[in-house]
Structure 1
Amino acid sequence: MAVEAPFMNLEEALQATDALMLDVVASEVSVLQDASRYIISAGGKRIRPHILFLAYLSAGGDNLEDAVPLAAAVELVHTATLVHDDINDHGRIRRGRRTINEEWGRTFALLTGDYLFTKVYSLMAPYGELNVIFSEAAVALVEGETLQAAAVKDNSLTRETYQKIVAKKTASLFRLSAVLGARFAEARKEHVEALGEYGFYLGLIFQIVDDLLDLVGDPRLMGKETGLDIAQGKGVAGVFAHLAGNGSGSAPKVAVAEAQAVAKDDDPFLPIKRRLIAGGAVEEGRQMARLLAGQANAALDRLPPHPAVDELRDLVTFVLERDS
Structure 2
Amino acid sequence: MSRRGNRSVTENFDVPTTEELETGSWAVTLTPRLAQFAAVARYEHVTRAAHSLGMPQSTLSRAMARLEDDLGVALFARHGRTVSLTAAGRAFHASVERALAEVDRAAESVRADADPATGKVAFGFLHTMGSETVPELIRAFRADHPRVRFQLIQNYGEAMLERLRHGDLDLCLTSPVPDAPDLVARRLDEQKLRLVVPDDHPLAVRKRIRLAEAAAEQFVTLEPGYGLRRITDALCAEAGFAPKIAFEGEDPETLRGLVAAGLGVGLLPPPAVPRPGVVELTVTAPRAVREIGVAWLGGHPDTPPVAAFKRFLLSRRGQLLLHR
Greater helix percent: which structure? Answer: 1
| Higher Cα Rg, which structure | 2
Normalised TM-score (structure 1):
0.26
Normalised TM-score (structure 2):
0.26
Greater strand percent: which structure? Answer: 2
